[in-house]
Amino acid sequence: MTYTVGMYLAERLSQIGLKHHFAVAGDFNLVLLDQLLVNKEMEQVYCCNELNCGFSAEGYARAHGAAAAVVTFSVGAISAMNAIGGAYAENLPVILISGSPNSNDYGTGHILHHTLGTDDYTYQLEMMRHVTCAAESITDAASAPAKIDHVIRTALRERKPAYLEIACNVSDAECVRPGPVSSLLAEVRVDDVSLKAAVEASLSLLEKSQRVTMVVGSKVRAAHAQAQTEHLADKLECAVTIMAAAKSFFPEDHKGFRGLYWGDVSSPGAQELVEKSDALICVAPVFNDYSTVGWTAWPKGDNVLLAEPNRVTVSGKTYEGFTLREFLEELAKKAPSRPLTAQESKKHVPVIAPTKADARLTNDEMTRQINAMLTSDTTLVAETGDSWFNATRMDLPRGARVELEMQWGHIGWSVPSAFGNAMGSQERQHILMVGDGSFQLTAQEMAQMVRYKLPVIIFLVNNRGYVIEIAIHDGPYNYIKNWDYAGLMEVFNAEDGHGLGLKATTAGELAEAIKKAKANREGPTIIECQIERSDCTKTLVKWGKKVAAANSRKPQAS
């Protein structure tokens, strides 16, 4: 059998551990899809559109470490680019693969369909270079292995998406076979001198400080440094807080865990704990307008040790040439015990009192019942909006995962991402919290949950509008046409599906719906939770006002 470019790509994707790849068919990628199907180590998973395909791959990367999505030229890839931008912002190695025009058409002046109507086909590659860490175009078989390897290697190393386009007549062209995958997984060599200097400078700060607190940020997972972060916390014995986007990235049963640091909407006591520390260790944070509550909670100063994925800044100096994981390992070997902040504080566990079974369903009661479902095997996906705030106030068992998209913040992200996540970790219980406005953007992917019999439980918050936008800046554009959300499941089931659509208007109805959802193992369950529009977390309102104030700053005088 002739070995082809498409087969080379498939084998490389399989070698890095992918069991699935996501796809939307188009005439420029059909031969490539055929070639990928030759590899029996991976399943080809289909999506409703290219935006959802990209977000499904993004969700798979969250669960599985990396992912691949295959689309067609222009009409497919440019649609998927939105999701690839999200993967870049959220530090997820998604390989976007696009079929492209026949290699013989390049430079001929031919005008092709699925293009901008010009004879220049390079525009998509140039666009993709802005939202990926590596981008290559393959128009001949001889260069394919090096370009494929470069794209995959860079994505894995940088923890960012990468792009590959393959001419439609090259996918089945003869190609050499790939060797071992070790070269793609190799770590960058450590600069021992710089690492030692960074550790010594950090120890100097810690040794002269008594009130030491750690703040764990969202990039700690992309840096593969969660275990090392916990080990350092063990050695320091200090208080540990998390940023909102890092929910579940540090175990909440750890003796030093003290909740969420989020400026004025922090867990009780956490803001004072962080802002009064002699030394603050910020591990892989992202300080943007959302995480700093409109730039009001941004730790700075000589007492801040900023440990980023590939750089450490302490006492006015920056050190590079090593990974965060290596830095934390070396620092933990010599770190002094600094238990004062942990001794003077305690973990705050939010307690939501249950309501009567016949009481109208509230946001608090919905959150309480979802929290009670969580186990060490649960992945909870929380959509942009009040679902963020509901997720961050939940008490998590060790091993539970929370997935947020707080940097990109694309409403509608969660439905296809939850689908991809469930494909990538089918051994786990998957729960999705999504608002009605967000759901309307990407609802089609619930059909794929039906198709692949994934028992995802979807809590659809029907409050008839974009409540997060209402909190930030209200207007008539924040109110939407209501749908029969539970009724949609019958549309997606058609003649062979096993999805379940339920509605809950009271606490008792929600409890009963959850029982039915848990019993439905042959497909997804959507529970339409009908609550008042004004019923949202107080933190959303408080946070929204701060962000709105930052957004409405007047232009500076020239």
Helix (H) or strand (E) holding 462: strand 457-462
User: Which fold, 192-344?
Assistant: Rossmann fold (3.40.50)
CATH 3.40.50.1220 intervals, the chain: 192-344
Q: Which residues are annotated as a binding site for Mg(2+)?
A: 436, 463, 465
Query: How do the pLDDT tens digits run along the chain, 558 residues long?
Result: 799 999 999 999 999 999 999 999 999 999 999 999 999 999 999 999 999 999 999 999 999 999 999 999 999 999 999 999 999 999 999 999 999 999 988 888 888 888 889 988 899 999 999 999 999 999 999 999 999 999 999 999 999 999 999 999 999 999 999 999 887 887 778 999 999 999 999 999 999 999 999 999 999 999 999 999 999 999 999 999 999 999 999 999 999 999 999 999 999 999 999 999 999 999 999 999 999 999 999 999 999 999 999 999 999 999 999 999 999 999 999 999 999 999 999 998 888 999 999 999 999 999 999 999 999 999 999 999 899 999 999 999 999 999 999 999 999 999 999 999 999 999 999 999 999 999 999 999 999 999 999 999 999 999 887 777 777 778 888 888 999 999 999 999 999 999 999 999 999 999 999 999 999 999 999 999 999 888 888 888 888 888 888 888 889 877
CA 20 vs. chain centroid, Å, equals 18
Beta strands 257-260; 279-283: pairing state: unpaired
| Buried b / exposed e along 91-130 (16+ C-beta atoms within 10 A) | bbbbbbbbbbbebebbeeeeebebbeeeeebeebbebbee
Q: What is the pTM of this model?
A: 0.95
Three-state DSSP at 210 gives coil
DSSP for 471-532 reads HHS--GGG------TTTHHHHHHTTT---EEEEESBHHHHHHHHHHHHH--SS-EEEEEE--
Q: Which residues are annotated as a binding site?
A: 436, 463, 465
pLDDT digits (tens, 9 = 90+) for 498-548: 999 999 999 999 999 999 999 999 999 999 999 988 888 888 888 888 888
SS3 content of the chain, % helix, strand, coil (to 5): 40, 20, 45
Phi, psi for residue 225 in degrees, rounded to 5: -120, 20
User: Which fold, 3-183?
Assistant: Rossmann fold (3.40.50)
Which CATH architecture is the domain 363-543 placed in?
3-Layer(aba) Sandwich (3.40)
CATH 3.40.50.970 intervals, the chain: 3-183, 363-543
